[in-house]
Amino acid sequence: MSQVMMPVDNFFRSAARWPDRIAVEISNGADQRSISYAELAASVNALAAGLQTIDPAPQSRVGICAYNSFEHLLGWLAAYAAGKVWVPLNPRNGRDELDRIIDLTTPSIIIFDADCGEKFGPNAAHLLAGKDGVDAVRANSVMANLLTANAGKMPRRYPVNSDDLQAIKFTGGSSGMPKGVMQTYRVFNSCIASMIASFGFDMNDRHLLAAPMTHGANTMILPIFAVGGTQLFMGQPSPSAILEAISSMRATTIFVPPTVCYMMLEDDRIDEIDLSSLRHFIIGGATIRPDVVARAMPIFNHAMETCFGQTEVPQIAICMRADDWQDPANHASTGRATVMTQIGIMDAAGTLLPAGETGELVLAGDLVMKGYYKMPEKTAETIIDGWLHTGDVGYVDERGFVFIKDRIRDVVVTGGFNVYPNDVEAVLGQHPDVVECVVFGLPDDKWGEAVHAAVELSKLASCDEAALIDFVKSRLDSIKAPKRIHITDALPRSPVGKVLRREAKIAFATH
């Protein structure tokens, strides 16, 4: 077995180069702290050594069930430094789902924070609490005690190769039962390099952790550390609080899903708050409506960018920089392939299609997962001849810009015509009363499937269903206009805030 650079080495290299630089700033009520690279590295090494005293085996799993916090970050880095495999346990998920993940991956250690003691059921793992207190009653040990007992110690370094696992991350289940994606050192190192090359991060970047660390926000951490930047921790990340934190903490970089962007734009103070520090306002996790790009770009300091990936090809397979997104011709695009990823569009027979033709988006390169954990058949269905099949339909134009239309399974076939929900959402979302919308197909005796939509309206909305349908008909072919629009106070969302098309389809099928 050969020795390769571990992803966490990007952090340790910066700690050696810039020991006195600030690695972490915390601004959460009474907790106001700055932690240097040297201080953080010493704590990471001590905790990693402590984890190895609990379980010395390399490649054993460490689950982390926590909201965004310094202790979460410390446990995450220490698991890597100890040669462990990270299993994110998003506390916003249901207990049954977390127990299923734990049963499948059998972590030997679970790190949890004070608010997550009852998020998962009994299991055989060693339970390590991030903080002491009444909520840590389940814990076998507490992080502060482990740090004290192992102060000054270094973890054992095991030989590794590039295809050893760094994480088992579970898909959101948008296309079926969530699957455990095996991400290797190769995948993580490729993600770090691609992030730095694509976004041009440097030591002046100040990354505000607003989206969950169990998901997209974690992919920004090591690239920012690699160049000597700073991680910023805030309190509870409501859209209003995020705006305030950007201003008060002078954040340069943030990752949020489209739904959070929409809610930020609805904030009463959006035109008053100082967002001039922003350099990278990165949208990811879902497609943002093109009309929002045009409206939001000047509000967010002309720093809006986006990237596309899946758990299977994390985060940065495709990237759109702010300069390119200024062009209205690119508002509906996700960007172009990043430096270590190859993209293609395939037809149903597996033939690569030329520019401009619509088919399934496929990806290849070092970002592609090793496979699905304990699911070889699913792996073989997804990775064919080196190409990972994304399940997304779209096209690539002559300039190399990727336009993703929809998930293949979400295309509505109505009266013999294919209708892409994203196309309808892009128009419906332009109505000034619409905050967010989702489009889907429901069975229909006449059309086979009929186009339906569900919308959340603004506080000052005055329109009704008929007016919204007429609005779409005035801008799209009538075959694409929704036959019904369901007005609701709250669209169904995932634990990370993504609007769930399938759940909306089920919820409004009986309306």
Question: pLDDT, tens digit, for every residue of 69-82?
Answer: 999 999 999 999 99
Q: Is the pLDDT of residue 61 over 60?
A: yes
Average the pLDDT over 251-268 and give the result: 93
Picking from 258, 270, 283, 267, the residue whose alpha carbon sits closest to that of residue 335 is 283
Mean predicted lDDT score pLDDT of the chain: 93
What confidence tens digit (pLDDT) does each residue in 184-243 have? 999 999 999 999 999 999 999 999 999 999 988 899 999 999 999 999 999 989 999 999
The residue whose two tokens read 């660390």 is: 213
Average the pLDDT over 278-306 and give the result: 94
pLDDT at 174: 43
Task: Tell me the fold of 411-507.
Answer: GMP Synthetase; Chain A, domain 3 (3.30.300)
Give the whole-number percent of the chain exceeding pLDDT 70.
98
Task: Check the CA dihedral 98-104-107-108 and report its sign.
Answer: positive
- Each domain of the chain, given as residue ranges in start order, spans 9-396, 411-507
Q: For residues 101 and 170, is the Cβ–Cβ distance under 8 A? A: yes
Torsion, Cα of 288, 290, 291, 293 (10° steps): 70
pLDDT at 511: 62
Q: Is the pLDDT of residue 93 over 50?
A: yes
For residue 315, the SS3 value is strand
Indicate if 411-507 has the same CATH topology as 9-396: no
pLDDT at 178: 72
Q: Is the pLDDT of residue 176 over 60?
A: no
Q: Is the pLDDT of residue 20 over 50?
A: yes
Domain 9-396 has CATH 3.30.360.10: no
Average the pLDDT over 254-267 and give the result: 91
pLDDT at 408: 86
- At 177, the pLDDT band (50, 70, 90 cuts) reads low
Average the pLDDT over 427-431 and give the result: 94
- At 397, the pLDDT band (50, 70, 90 cuts) reads very high
Average the pLDDT over 162-188 and give the result: 85
pLDDT at 134: 62
What confidence tens digit (pLDDT) does each residue in 453-486 have? 999 999 889 999 999 999 999 998 888 999 999 9
pLDDT at 496: 78
Average the pLDDT over 91-102 and give the result: 89
Q: For residues 492 and 500, is the Cβ–Cβ distance under 8 A? A: yes
- What is the DSSP code string of 321-333? -HHHHTSGGGTT-
Torsion, Cα of 315, 319, 320, 321 (10° steps): 100
How many CB atoms lie under 10 A from the CB of residue 457? 20
CA distance 200 to 215: 21
For residue 458, the SS3 value is coil
How many helices (H) and strands (E) the chain has is answered by: 15, 27
CA distance 23 to 16: 12
Q: Is the pLDDT of residue 492 over 60?
A: yes
* Residue predicted with more confidence, 215 or 400: 400
Average the pLDDT over 113-124 and give the result: 90
Q: Is the pLDDT of residue 175 over 50?
A: no
Q: Is the pLDDT of residue 280 over 80?
A: yes
